[in-house]
C-alpha cells in the first residue's frame, strides 16, 4: 500500500490546481483520473462547445451580413473541419494541463478508477492494467457529473446522443430532436440549426428556462423561433421507434399524443453526480437522495479530512464554482483563512447567441423572498452599440433595492451579455450603487455604456 499526505480523485477544474498546490506546499500528493486531465470543462463542456458555437456564429453572420451591406453569395458548413478545429483546441488545453501536473515535484498522476475500500483507503484499477491501494489523511473528491438518461421506451434501440457524444459528429444531422429545453439543449439546438439541421426541442415545463424570469425566457424563445427552431413546451417523449434511418417519436403534449420524425436524438435532461462507483459507504461518507456528496459550507463531508468539490456535490454546477471550491478549501487548510460558500456570488452565462449572462437575484426570486425591489429594463434595440453592429436582439434587466440603491441581480440577454453582466457583478462586489452607475462615465460606444440608460429607466 502506498502512503500519501493527500489524494485528489478527479482531475477537473478543482482537482488539478488543488493537487499542484498541495504538492508545492510539501504534501506528497496523488491525483487519480480515470479519463482525461481537465475534466468536463476542457474535454466535453466549455472548451469544445464554445469552439463550435463560434463556428455556428460565423454561419449565422454569413446569412445575415447582407443586413449590414455585405452580401455573402454562398457558404458551406464543414462539420468535419469544425470538429478538427475543436479537437485541436481541446488537445492543446488537455496536454498542457497534463504536462503541468506531471512536471510538479511531489505529485503523482495516476490514470485509473478509484474506489474506497476502507476509511481513508482506496483501490485504483489502473487503466494500463493492475491495481494499487493508496491511503492518505486528506482526500479531495472532484469526480464531476455525467448526463442523465431518461427511461423512455425505445430510446436505447433508437440510439441517442449526449452532450459528450454529439461533439464527435462529422456530418450534420438532417433532423435533430432534443429532449430538454434548458442550457445544454438550447446551446446545441441553436448551434446545429445554424449548421443546417432541422431542430425540434421538447421541454416538459410550460416554457423554456423555468428557472429564469418569464420575460427573459420569452425573449429568448422568440429569438430561437425566428431561427426556425421548433420549440414544444408541455411536451414529453413517451416512446421511440426506429425504421431504417428514420426515428419516430411519440410525444405527449397538452394531453395529446403526436408523432415527430427525426434522424438523431440528443438527450439533454440534466446531469447526475459520479458517485456510484466510488464506494463512499466504505469510507462512511454521506450522500443526499440524488447521490450528491453532502458537504458543509467549507466543503468538508461528514468524515473529517474528506472534502468534495465541483459538480459531485449539491449546488451550482459551473466550472468557475468548481475552481472557487478549490480556492476555499486550499486557503482554509493551508493559509489559515476561514472562507465559506455562504453568500458567494454565482455568475453564469449561457452561450446561446445572444448570450444570457446572469448574476444575483432574478425578479422571480426577489418576489418569492418578499424583498422590496424595483426592475430596470432596457431593450437591446435602444442600445447604441447594438444598433451600430446590427444586432439588437435581447434585453438588459436589473433588480435593485429602491432604498439602499444596491444592485440585487441582473440578467443580460444580448450580444456580449456575459461581459456586460460581469461589469454589474463587479459593481455588486464593490458595493457600487445603481445611481452611481447611472452617471458613471463609460467609454463610448461600448455595450457597458448603456448601463447608464438601463438605470435611467428607474427615473421614469
pLDDT at 460 exceeding the cut of 80: no
**pLDDT tens profile 62-107:** 999 999 999 999 999 999 999 999 999 999 999 999 999 999 999 9
pLDDT at 190 exceeding the cut of 80: yes
**Which ranges constitute the DSSP H helices of 7-112?**
15-24, 39-43, 46-64, 79-102
Percent of the residues in the chain that have a pLDDT greater than 70, as a whole number? 100
CB atoms within 10 A of CB 68: 11
**Which ranges constitute the DSSP H helices of 103-245?**
155-158, 183-195, 214-226
Grid coordinates in use for 284? 462512511
Catalytic residue among 175, 320, 382, 444: 444
- Measured in degrees and rounded to the nearest 5, phi and psi for residue 224 equal -70, -40
- CA neighbor of 77 nearest in space, from 61, 88, 92, 90: 61
Residues 6+ positions from 400 with CB-CB distance below 8 Å? 373, 374, 375, 376, 406, 407, 408, 434, 455, 458
Mean pLDDT of 279-301: 97
Q: Where are the beta strands (DSSP E) in 254-354?
A: 256-262, 264-267, 271-273, 306-308, 348-350
Report the Cα 38 to chain-centroid distance in Å.
Answer: 15
**Which ranges constitute the DSSP H helices of 103-211?**
155-158, 183-195
**pLDDT tens profile 341-394:** 999 999 999 999 999 999 999 999 999 999 999 999 999 999 999 999 999 999
Tell me the pLDDT of the chain averaged across its residues. 97
Q: Quick one: residue 94, left, alpha or beta (phi over 0 = left, psi -120 to 50 = alpha)?
A: alpha
Strand partners, 308: 141
Dist CA 449 CA 99 (whole Å):
42
What's the farthest any 2 CA atoms get from each other in the chain? 71
Give the pLDDT score at 241. Answer: 97
Dist CA 409 CA 460 (whole Å):
20
**pLDDT tens profile 26-63:** 999 999 999 999 999 999 999 999 999 999 999 999 99
- CA neighbor of 179 nearest in space, from 192, 153, 160: 160
Dist CA 188 CA 50 (whole Å):
10
pLDDT band at 245 (very low <50, low <70, confident <90, very high): confident
Mean pLDDT of 429-446: 96
Dist CA 228 CA 190 (whole Å):
9
Grid coordinates in use for 99? 504536462
**pLDDT tens profile 136-172:** 999 999 999 999 999 999 999 999 999 999 999 999 9
pLDDT at 4 exceeding the cut of 80: yes
444 a catalytic residue: yes
Sign, CA torsion 237/241/243/244: positive
What Rg do the C-alpha atoms of the chain give, in angstroms? 24
pLDDT band at 459 (very low <50, low <70, confident <90, very high): confident
Dist CA 15 CA 155 (whole Å):
34
Strand partners, 200: 177, 230
Q: Are strands 175-179 and 198-203 parallel, antiparallel or unpaired?
A: parallel
Mean pLDDT of 398-423: 97
Angle at 350 between CA 348 and CA 355, to 5 degrees: 110
Determine the straight-line distance between the first and last CA of the chain, rounded to whole angstroms: 71
Q: pTM for the full model?
A: 0.95
Q: Give CA separation, 28 vs 8, 15, 17, 18, 138, in Å.
A: 11, 15, 15, 13, 11
Mean pLDDT of 321-336: 97
pLDDT at 207 exceeding the cut of 80: yes
Cis peptide leading into residue 207 (ω within 30°) = no
**pLDDT tens profile 118-143:** 999 999 999 999 999 999 999 999 99
- Measured in degrees and rounded to the nearest 5, phi and psi for residue 365 equal -70, -40
Strand partners, 272: 146
Grid coordinates in use for 443? 467609454
pLDDT band at 254 (very low <50, low <70, confident <90, very high): confident
Give the pLDDT score at 120. Answer: 95
Amino acid at each position: 500500500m502506498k502512503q500519501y499526505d493527500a489524494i485528489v480523485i478527479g482531475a477537473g477544474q478543482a482537482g488539478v490546481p488543488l493537487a499542484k498546490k498541495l504538492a508545492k506546499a510539501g504534501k506528497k500528493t496523488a491525483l487519480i483520473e480515470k479519463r482525461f486531465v481537465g475534466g468536463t470543462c476542457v474535454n466535453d463542456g466549455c472548451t469544445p462547445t464554445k469552439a463550435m458555437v463560434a463556428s455556428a456564429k460565423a454561419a449565422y453572420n454569413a446569412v445575415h451580413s447582407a443586413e449590414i451591406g455585405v452580401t455573402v453569395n454562398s457558404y458551406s458548413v464543414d462539420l468535419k473541419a469544425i470538429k478538427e478545429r475543436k479537437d485541436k483546441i481541446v488537445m492543446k488545453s488537455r496536454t498542457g494541463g497534463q504536462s503541468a501536473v506531471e512536471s510538479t515535484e511531489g505529485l503523482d498522476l495516476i490514470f485509473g478508477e478509484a474506489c474506497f475500500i476502507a476509511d481513508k483507503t482506496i483501490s485504483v484499477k489502473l487503466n494500463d492494467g493492475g491495481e494499487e491501494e493508496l491511503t492518505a489523511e486528506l482526500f479531495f473528491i472532484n469526480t464531476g457529473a455525467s448526463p442523465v438518461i431518461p427511461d423512455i421506451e425505445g430510446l436505447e434501440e433508437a440510439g441517442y446522443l449526449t452532450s459528450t457524444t454529439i461533439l464527435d459528429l462529422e456530418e450534420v444531422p438532417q433532423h435533430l430532436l432534443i429532449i430538454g429545453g434548458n442550457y445544454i439543449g438550447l446551446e446545441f439546438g441553436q448551434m446545429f440549426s445554424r449548421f443546417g439541421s432541422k431542430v425540434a426541442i421538447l421541454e416538459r415545463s410550460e416554457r423554456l428556462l423555468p428557472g429564469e424570469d418569464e420575460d427573459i425566457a420569452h425573449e429568448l424563445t422568440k429569438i430561437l423561433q425566428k431561427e426556425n427552431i421548433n420549440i414544444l413546451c408541455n411536451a414529453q417523449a413517451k416512446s421511440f421507434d426506429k425504421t431504417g434511418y428514420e426515428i419516430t417519436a411519440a410525444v405527449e403534449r397538452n394531453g395529446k399524443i403526436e408523432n415527430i420524425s427525426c434522424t438523431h436524438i440528443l438527450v439533454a435532461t440534466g446531469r447526475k453526480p459520479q458517485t456510484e462507483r466510488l464506494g463512499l459507504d466504505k469510507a462512511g461518507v454521506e450522500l443526499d437522495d440524488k447521490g450528491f456528496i453532502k458537504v458543509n459550507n467549507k466543503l468538508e463531508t461528514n468524515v473529517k479530512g474528506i472534502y468534495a468539490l465541483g459538480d459531485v456535490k449539491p449546488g451550482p454546477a459551473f466550472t468557475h464554482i468548481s475552481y472557487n471550491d478549490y480556492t476555499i478549501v486550499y486557503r482554509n487548510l493551508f493559509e489559515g483563512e476561514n472562507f465559506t460558500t455562504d453568500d458567494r456570488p454565482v455568475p453564469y452565462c449561457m452561450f446561446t447567441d445572444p448570450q444570457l449572462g446572469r448574476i444575483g437575484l432574478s425578479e422571480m426570486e426577489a418576489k418569492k423572498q418578499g424583498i422590496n425591489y424595483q426592475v430596470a429594463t432596457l431593450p437591446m434595440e435602444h442600445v447604441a452599440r447594438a444598433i451600430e453592429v446590427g444586432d439588437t436582439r435581447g434585453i438588459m434587466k436589473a433588480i435593485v433595492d429602491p432604498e439602499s440603491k444596491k444592485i440585487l441581480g441582473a440578467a443580460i440577454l444580448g450580444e456580449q451579455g456575459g461581459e456586460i453582466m460581469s461589469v454589474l457583478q463587479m459593481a455588486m462586489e464593490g458595493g457600487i450603487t445603481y445611481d452611481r452607475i447611472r452617471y458613471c462615465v463609460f467609454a463610448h460606444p461600448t455595450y457597458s455604456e448603456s448601463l447608464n440608460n438601463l438605470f435611467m429607466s428607474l427615473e421614469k
